[in-house]
Structure formats: structure tokens, C-alpha cells
Amino acid sequence: MDGSFLIGSKSETTDNTFRAMNPATDEALDTDFAVSTTGHVAEACKLADAAFDSFRELDPETRAVFLETVADEIEATDGLVERAMAESGLPEGRLTGERGRTCGQLRLFAKLLRQGRWENVVVDNAMPDRQPLPRADLRQRRIAVGPVAVFGASNFPLAFSVAGGDTASALAAGCPVVCKGHPAHPGTSVLVGQAIRNAIKKCGLHEGVFSLIQGPSNDLGKALVEDPRIKAVGFTGSRGGGLALMKLAQARPEPIPVYAEMSAVNPVLLFPEALKARGTDLGKAYVGSLTMGAGQFCTNPGVVLGIDGPDLDAFAKTAADALAEAQPQVMLTSGIHANYDKGVEKLTGEADVETLARGAEGTGCNRGQAALFATSGKAFLANPNLAEEVFGAASIIVKCADMDELKRVLSEMEGQLTITFQMDDADMDAAKAVLPIAERKAGRILANGWPTGVEVSYAMVHGGPFPATSDPRTTSVGTAAIERYLRPVCYQDLPDAILPKAVKHGNPLGLPRTVDGEVEG
């Protein structure tokens, strides 16, 4: 295992090193990883800036082939899943699937590039004879915003990290990337970073298209966000971390956007008829979603809302029985495990909160013991602490007095990534009445499923109002993620000889266009 970090085509080392920890044993793994300096950050950003103009103007086919080559190189990397297992405590099947998702989203963006819609070409042809004033020839396309800083996430060491959705969408847009690998999985980061670098070399691209900096210090992230050559930031992590980066970005002489996916409890609404008809099955499925991956999903169902009564009591009993049998799983880091225990302890000590069940106690390091709580709608409304995310397999059932109180509880909650409706046909009118509230609160609304699991597709939205994300207009999953790293440019009366190919009169790239208000292609 190579402990160097990557500045363009160079592998760099320093005397200052750190090691990854195996969360299953709390033992340090065997490789010393070099810690980058703020000087290395500046060098990486300088290279990214130097690569920007050539990379952003690559024809779509060339950039698509590059993304596909990155996917091929990741799949060909020996020992990647095994290293990710050692650094994250996640099982082989989960990480094998995550590797497939990582490569799949790279290939999906390659397909998007070939389709051409992402450039959003709009042409308003000149109208020299228009009265009382002529109209100029106006042509619009979207171009890359500039070099992008990406922060690797702890809970998805592949799909939300070095070559994850933020990096894939930024590269697809034509933005070079400087990635700060997550300090919990530096070996995984290096292996993926080397795969990207191999693809850059094979495709003959500028070395500054990608760099990887490493280290546990927050100073590196600060230097990266504050570097004037960085024009946007992609981040998945805690609310505190996201807010800190946003503050840094807004304090720059040139403020830049931070696209941060942060905190959500993803309410599940149990409508009365569904609860009556299949409450037992819902209780078991709920616990399965809650405890999946030790509850370390952005879309974990942390709050359940239902109408108080025998049907909700039966659901809660089934869920409590199932959760009591849930085996503790290794959490990602000792710090995440400690914060989870603190969050559970805080809920346990809250007035008007009942502990319904705890999962089985485990032996070994950093095992998260699942927890299930209950409270009334009135108490939930009176105590904002009950709506805070506990990152892990902990959730609270809120027993509302009636549908009006349920709607009030949902209305007063913060922004969410998801809201789930468990409903039957007889619940349709009630669900329709709640839908406008859900639309205000979440980026994805689903029926009769569970929020854990995010499809990488054209229609997917993995975002939502604050604090789910820092910008509710965006998504970090799906093809629309590319829009974060593009901006419109209008060309007025430029000679065809100097117009970019995307907006030339003859449409040499064959892109879909909107011409004088009519969609073509």
C-alpha cells in the first residue's frame, strides 16, 4: 500500500504521517500515510486552474470516454474492496455493491455527456428588421464553473468519496477536482485516486484534472476552500462540518457556493388505513431499514409519525420486538460511535420520552446498539431536541393525537432528504392533504417503501431544504447533480468563427437546442 498523496501526476510524501484505524478492532492499520501541507493544497489548486480551460472545452465524447476509463480503472484495482472493508468496518457485499454504484454513476454521466442536453443550448436568431428595435443574435450555453473542491464522506468510502457523485458530476461538467480524502479511509482514497490518475494518463489529459490531498487536520480543508482558484465545493457529512465550510466560503473575497448534504431524520408517515391493514409488516420492515448498515445512511428513518391508538401501539410493539433482536454492527469510526452513544443517551434522558427497546448488546469495539423511542406529538412539538438527527440506528415514534397534529408536527420539522408515505387506497385523501407540506420539506417523497437506498438515475433527487442540504435547488445524486457545477454564458453577435462549437450556427456537435423558442433535437 502506497502512503503518498497525489498532486497531479506526482506522488508526494512528507515526514508527517498518520494511519487508518480498523473500527472493528480499534487497531491501527499497517501503512503510514503522508499528511499534505497547505503548500501542497496551493500546488494542487494551481494545477487544477491550469487544466481548467483545456478540460472544460473537451468535446463531449472525449470527456465521456475519460469517465468510462475511470470506471474501468476502479474495477481493475486489486484489493480495493478489501482495503475499504478494513478501514470502514463495512461488509464485503455492501462495498462490492458500492463499487458498482460508483462505476455506474461515472458511466451514467458519460451517457449524459453524449446526449448533450446538459449544455442547454438556446439560440435566439437575430431579427434585424424587428420594429421598433432589431434583436441581436443571442446564443446561450452552460460552461463549467472552475476547479471544484470535493470532501470525501465517511459513510460511503467509494460512492460519496474520491470518485463519488460529487467528483463524477464535477468532472462531467468539465471541472478539475481537488479532493480531500476522508482521514478514516486514506488507503481506499489512494487506490481510487490512482485509478483516476491512470485514466488521465491513458486519455492524454492535463495532469491538473485531479489531485488528492490527505490528512486529519481541518486546516487542509480550510486552505482548500479559501484558495481563490477553487470555484465550488462538494461536501457530504455533518451539519457542523458543512456549516463551517459554508462560513469559510462566504468569507472569501470572492464567495463561492458550498453544496453540502448534511442532516436529515427522514420522517415516515403511517397513514391510518395502512397501519390498520399491515402494521405488523410495517414494523418489521421499518426496523430493517433503520438498522441497515448500522443506521449510517443519510436517509435513515429517524422519525415515525402516526395517529395514537391501538394500531400504532401494535406497530410499535412489533418494531420493538424486532429491534430487540437486532445485532450490533461496527460503526465507521470510534468518533461516530461515541457521538451515537451520546445522542442515544440524550434521548434516554429527555422528559416525556419512553425507551421502547434497545438492540442486542455486542462485544468488541465500536458496535452500535440500536435504540427505539416513543413520545407524544405534543411533547415532540415542545422539544426541538427530539427532532435532531442521531447518526446511527436510533429512531423515535411520535404518537400524534389526530391528523391535524400530525400535519403540524411535519410542518414544524426542518428540511429533509426524504419523507415517506405508508398508505393504502383508503388513505388517499389524507395523503393528498399532507403532500403540499411534504413538498415544502423534502427533496424526495416516496410511497410504500423505505428511504434507505438511493437510485442513481435521471429523475433522482438527493437533496432538500436546509439542513438536508445547503441549497435546496440541487441534488448530489443523479444526472441533475451536474447542474451544480455549470453556469450560463450568453454570446451576443459574436462571429461564427470564434463561437464555441456548442453554439456555432451549423451545430457541428449535433446538440439538442432550443431555437427561437422551439425545441430541436
Tell me, what CATH number does 296's domain have? 3.40.309.10
Query: Cα–Cα distances in Å, from 145 out to 142, 236, 310, 354, 489?
Result: 9, 20, 56, 50, 11
Measured CA to CA, the distance from residue 329 to residue 24 in angstroms comes to: 9
* Catalytically active residues, by annotation: 261, 298
Q: Is the pLDDT of residue 496 over 80?
A: yes
Q: How many CA atoms lie within 13 A of 469 on its CB side?
A: 28
Predicted local confidence at residue 275, as pLDDT: 97
8 Å CB contact between 394 and 295:
yes
pLDDT digits (tens, 9 = 90+) for 12-64: 999 999 999 999 999 999 999 999 999 999 999 999 999 999 999 999 999 99
Q: Which of 183, 178, 140 is nearest to 51 (CA)?
A: 178
* 253 shares a domain with 129: yes
For the residues 70-78, what does the mean pLDDT come to? 98
Instruction: Answer yes or no: is pLDDT of 246 > 80.
Output: yes
Does 317 share its domain with 229?
no
57/136 same-domain check: yes
299 domain-assigned? yes
Q: How confident is the model at residue 408 (pLDDT cuts 50, 70, 90)?
A: very high
**Mean pLDDT throughout 247-261?**
98
Q: Pick from 110, 88, 104, 108: which is nearest to 189 by CA?
A: 88
Provide mean pLDDT across the span 397-414.
98
Q: Which pLDDT score, from 0 to 100, does residue 256 have?
A: 98
What pLDDT was estimated at residue 2?
Answer: 86
Q: Are residues 187 and 320 in the same domain?
A: no
Q: Which three cell numbers stand for residue 90?
A: 463495512
* Section 246-275 average pLDDT: 98
Per-residue pLDDT tens digits for 95-121: 999 999 999 999 999 999 999 999 999
Domain that holds residue 397: 268-447
**Are 193 and 305 within one domain?**
no
164 and 301, same domain (yes or no): no
Asked whether residue 325 falls in the same domain as residue 209, the answer is: no
Which CATH number covers residue 106?
A: 3.40.605.10
Q: How confident is the model at residue 363, as a pLDDT? A: 86
Nearest alpha carbon to residue 3 among 31, 26, 30: 31
The 3-state secondary structure of 12-75 reads ECCCCEECCEECCCCEECCCCEECCCHHHHHHHHHHHHHHHHHHHCCCHHHHHHHHHHHHHHHH
Which phi and psi (to 5°) does residue 138 adopt? -125, 130
For residue 268, pLDDT over 90 is answered with yes
d(CA 303, CA 287): 12
- What's the confidence (pLDDT) of residue 420? 98
Q: How confident is the model at residue 209 (pLDDT cuts 50, 70, 90)?
A: very high
One domain, residues 370 and 295: yes
Instruction: Give percent of the chain with pLDDT exceeding 70.
Output: 100
CB 442 within 8 A of CB 420: no
Residue 92 is which amino acid? E
- Asked, for residue 432, whether it belongs to a domain, the answer is yes
**Chain segment 128-167, per-residue pLDDT in tens:** 999 999 999 999 999 999 999 999 999 999 999 999 999 9
Which among 349, 236, 354 is positioned nearest to 297, based on CA atoms? 236
For residue 341, give the nearest of 353, 351, 328 by alpha carbon: 328
Which pLDDT belongs to residue 521? 75
Q: Are residues 254 and 365 in the same domain?
A: no
25 found inside a domain: yes
The closest of 329, 446, 444, 442 to 392, measured between CA atoms, is 329
Total number of domains in the chain? 2
pTM for the full predicted model: 0.96
Work out the mean pLDDT of the chain and round it to a whole number. Answer: 97
The answer to whether position 510 is within a domain reads no
Estimate to the nearest angstrom the gap between the alpha carbon of 504 and the chain centroid: 36
Tell whether 115 is covered by a domain.
yes
Averaged pLDDT, 235-241: 96
Is 493 inside a domain boundary?
no
Of 63-67, 74-78, 308-312, 507-511, which range is least confident? 507-511
275 in Cβ contact with 399 (< 8 Å): no
Residue 503 falls inside a structural domain: no
345/479 same-domain check? no
Task: Compute, in degrees rounded to 10, the torsion defined by CA atoms 298, 299, 301, 304.
Answer: 120
Residues 54 and 145 in one domain: yes
Q: How many CB atoms lie within 10 A of CB 509?
A: 16
Domain contains 412:
yes
Would the pLDDT of 181 be above 90? Answer: yes
**In terms of domains, do 246 and 328 share one?**
no
